[in-house]
Every structure is written in structure tokens, then in C-alpha cells.
């Protein structure tokens, strides 16, 4: 099993450009999450999907959109990138809502100039 995979690993964008970060899990997990991690800080939840077909805002959703394409895939879209969105983005999945360990992908390092 590959676990949680993310693409791309690195990306540089100019202000105003758009892009989609892809995430997929092969563990048949119900819930998936997108976090961002700024230098020296913990993770902040952007969006999460408790189950296929549902998405909910997290702590810092502004400037992002998400799509739960199917049970395996959960994508994060930046419509108009801003320098404040420079961060490392992690996708995670878990069997159910809360109370279960989260499995993390390797991260996408995004720089917006």
C-alpha cells in the first residue's frame, strides 16, 4: 500500500496564478483533511471531508477550495495564489471522524512569489 500520496512535491507560483494540489489514499479511509504548516508552527486545518460527497471548512479556509472527487481522492485548489499562501501543505486521512489516528502524506512545498 502506498498510504497517502501527494502531488506535486514542490511548486513555485507567481501571485495570481492558480493550481490544484492532489491527494489520494489507498486505505479505504472515510475522512480526509488538508492542512498547512508554516515555518516553526503546527498544522492548521484548511478543509476536511468527513465522508465522500461532503466537505467542511476548517480553521483557515479563505483562498482555498476543495473537491472530494471520490473516496480515494481529495484535491485542494488555490484560485488566485498570494504570497501569504507560501507554506507546506499536508493531506491526511483517517478511518472515521475524530478518535482515529491520521495518516499523513509527504507534503507539498509551495512558494508564491
Site for other proteins in 4-33 (CB under 8 A): 4, 31, 33
Residue with cell string 483557515:
60
Candidate residues 50, 71, 86, 95; the one interacting with other proteins per rule CB under 8 A = 50
53 binds other proteins (CB under 8 A): no
Nearer to other proteins, 6 or 85 (CB): 6
As a whole number of angstroms, the distance between CA 42 and CA 69 comes to 27
85 binds other proteins (CB under 8 A): no
Candidate residues 13, 92, 110, 112; the one interacting with other proteins per rule CB under 8 A = 92
DSSP structure string for 13-76: E-TT--EEEEEEE-S--SEEEEEEE-TT--EEEEEEESSTT--EE-S--TTEEEEE-SSSBEEE
43 binds other proteins (CB under 8 A): yes
Amino acid at each position: 500500500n502506498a498510504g497517502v500520496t501527494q502531488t506535486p512535491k514542490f511548486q513555485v507560483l507567481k501571485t495570481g496564478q492558480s493550481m490544484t494540489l492532489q491527494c489520494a489514499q489507498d486505505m479505504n479511509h472515510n475522512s480526509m483533511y488538508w492542512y498547512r504548516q508554516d515555518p516553526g508552527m503546527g498544522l492548521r486545518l484548511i478543509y476536511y471531508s468527513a465522508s465522500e460527497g461532503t466537505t467542511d471548512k476548517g480553521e483557515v479556509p479563505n483562498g482555498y477550495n476543495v473537491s472530494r472527487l471520490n473516496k480515494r481522492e481529495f484535491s485542494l485548489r488555490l484560485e488566485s495564489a498570494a504570497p501569504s499562501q507560501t507554506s507546506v501543505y499536508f493531506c491526511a486521512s483517517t478511518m472515521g471522524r475524530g478518535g482515529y489516528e491520521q495518516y499523513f502524506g509527504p507534503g507539498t512545498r509551495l512558494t508564491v512569489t
